[in-house]
Amino acid sequence: MFCRIEVPTLEVQVSGHGQRRHHRRRRHQVHAALGPVYAAMRDAFRRRVRVPVSAPLGGFDTCYNVTVRVPSVALALSGGPAVTLPEENVMIHSSSGSVTCLAMAAGPLDGVNAGLNVLASMQQQNHRVLFDVANRRVGFSCEFCTT
């Protein structure tokens, strides 16, 4: 069962070309979204988990030191597809294995990366991202990656 999150329209001033940007990046490990977008998603995620969060770990503010039932997370692009992420693309585990965190974080609201949303390598694992440049479309397909 999905919970659709309505995010209010945001006006973001960005240096350079003055555009809001979405970037698919393999160097980043976790998804980074504009602060208000991330906060809406994080808050909805926490409501669905219904377990108190533990102390933050590194840059992650939604962590649990107990086993939780992870709700479905789907990333929907405006006018385009939605890709449902499996649990291993949503949660990251501490090196000790005792803490599990939501593998997403808030991106900066100012500076050179302001307005940049990053769909990172952890969320892309086992997904093929298809770009139809001529028609200005993007698509996703599930594909098990062995390397």
User: How far, in Å, are 17, 43, 49, 65, 107 from residue 36 at the CA level?
Assistant: 22, 10, 20, 26, 10
φ, ψ (nearest 5 deg) of residue 110:
-140, 170
Ordered domains of the chain (ranges, CATH): 21-74+89-124 (2.40.70.10)
Positive or negative: CA dihedral 106, 107, 110, 116: negative
pLDDT, tens digit only, all 147 positions of the chain? 445 555 544 443 434 444 444 444 444 444 555 677 778 888 989 999 999 999 998 888 999 998 899 988 887 766 666 778 888 888 888 888 889 998 887 766 666 555 555 555 566 666 677 788 898 877 777 777 765
Question: Among 64, 65, 82, 81, which Cα is nearest to 73's?
Answer: 82
